[in-house]
Amino acid sequence: MTELSRRAFLTRSSAAAGGLALGVGAGCSGSDDGAASRDGDGAEAPGTTAAPPFDPGDWASVRAQFPLRSDTAQFAAYVLAAHPAPVAEAIARHRAGLDEHTHGYLGATEADAEIGVHDAAAEYLGASPAEVGLTDSTTMGLGLLYAGLRVPAGREVLTTEHDFYSTHQAWQLRAAREGIAVRRARLYDDPAAASTEAMVGRLMDQVTPATRVVAITWVHSSTGVRLPVRAIADALAAANAGRGPDERALLCVDGVHGLGAVDAGVGDLRCDFLVAGTHKWLFAPRGTGIVWGRADAWGQVDPAIPAFEPNSFGEWRNGLPPAPTDGWRFTPGGYHSFEHRWALAEAFRFHLDIGRDRVAARTTDQATALKAGLADIPGVRVVTPAAEDLSAGIVCFDVEGAEPAAVVDRLAAAGFDTSVTPYTDAHVRAGPSIVTTPEEVDGLLAALRAG
């Protein structure tokens, strides 16, 4: 680790512990010795297969970066990501370095790599690097955030009927520990007919002066409905007018099916916290995720797991109280599968190179075509709204007289990978993305028409 990168890492961590004499980088990696590097030897990184040159402007080249088999159209890539070549190469490079000289590579790489991930995530989100915390998944992010958010006595939590298990159960566990009241709003009865006005109205009807947290999901994996997060944030801001940071109702969003599918940064959403695994639509390393918090909201969270970032570590060694939380301090410590974590930077760069707007347009155009085609097939009912501003990449539908699992099996036999929504009210779910093509959308529709 060079002195410059060490200083940069320390400076970018929360400023509060300035002046501490830290002898370590994050954690105890320790060494300033040079480390093994596989860079620059021209050899293909182990564990990767050659992909054609990456041209971010060419969708065929984008698709060719993925080793995904081409005899199956990948309409369920949102379940868990495949790694595109730049991400796979970064993983392989870090893995080789760690395998070759573990302690040396860690010491030489950790500071720059961690900074690189925070910087890339911040650029993608339109945020500041210190506002970004790193986790292993959406579920871990939600669990840690909802365990650590300060909910004063007498205050309540509002979620919705449409959130995933991870949100519901995180609050269930907290409620069981502390007796916090958690209520659920129903935002729509018929998802296909959902409207911004009705959803904002139904949610805000449930917000009371006791509401401390509003925990919602950007894109519902049960129906494909995309919530108007910005409109909800604006309505909540009006309800919060005149309240201090300890009093405000905080808007927290499970963003996993929006991030990498919708062209929006945190400035567009205006929520207080955005939690997302990056191993779905962003095609980042499996086992990675982010929690973004607004700079003035992070102070309302107590970390549940000690961070290994240098300032937190230094406070412990110097017997000082912890400074207020930020993204660095929220990031759970302990050593990680660093080859995956550090390659997250390349995943954000991959999307930034293509363009967040172009990825979203590619996803939306195919989803819109799919919904329009489905609506024309007799016996098929589209569950997801047709409106592009109320949906994203997830398209849910039912086929009259057929169980969703049977439809998914039939499509799989025809070469189209889809899935069943993991909810009581199950539907067939298909997710066009940068690894599918408009021709494959046509093929999926033809397979359904063929019955």
Ligand X SMILES: Cc1ncc(COP(=O)(O)O)c(C=O)c1O
Residues near ligand X, by CB under 6 A:
137-139, 164, 166, 217, 221, 254, 256-257, 277, 289
Query: Residue 14 or 217: which CB sits closer to ligand X?
Result: 217
Query: Residue 221 or 391: which CB sits closer to ligand X?
Result: 221
Amino acid (one-letter) located at 23:
G
Query: Residue 65 or 221: which CB sits closer to ligand X?
Result: 221
Q: Specify the length of the chain in residues.
A: 451
Residues 77-80: contacts with CB within 8 Å, 24+ apart? 77/280, 77/281, 77/283, 77/431, 77/433, 77/435, 77/436, 78/257, 78/261, 78/280, 78/281, 78/393, 78/394, 78/431, 78/433, 79/280, 79/419, 80/279, 80/280, 80/286
Query: Residue 144 or 180: which CB sits closer to ligand X?
Result: 144
Give least dist CB 167 to ligand X, A: 7
Give least dist CB 96 to ligand X, A: 27
Give least dist CB 376 to ligand X, A: 28
Q: How many CB atoms neighbour CB 323 within 10 A?
A: 17
Instruction: Determine the residue with CB nearest ligand X.
Output: 277
Angle 154-208-265 (CA atoms, 0-180°, nearest 5)?
Answer: 105
CA distance 32 to 10: 15
Give least dist CB 221 to ligand X, A: 3
Record the tokens describing residue 201, joined without a space.
């109205």
Give least dist CB 421 to ligand X, A: 9
Query: Residue 94 or 286: which CB sits closer to ligand X?
Result: 286
Strand partners, 399: 380
CA distance 274 to 286: 19
Q: How many CB atoms neighbour CB 54 within 10 A?
A: 16
**Bridge pairing between strands 156-160 and 73-74:** unpaired
Give least dist CB 442 to ligand X, A: 27
Give least dist CB 254 to ligand X, A: 5
Query: Residue 83 or 248: which CB sits closer to ligand X?
Result: 83
Give least dist CB 164 to ligand X, A: 4
Query: Residue 164 or 342: which CB sits closer to ligand X?
Result: 164
CA-nearest of 116, 98, 34, 45 to 336 is 98
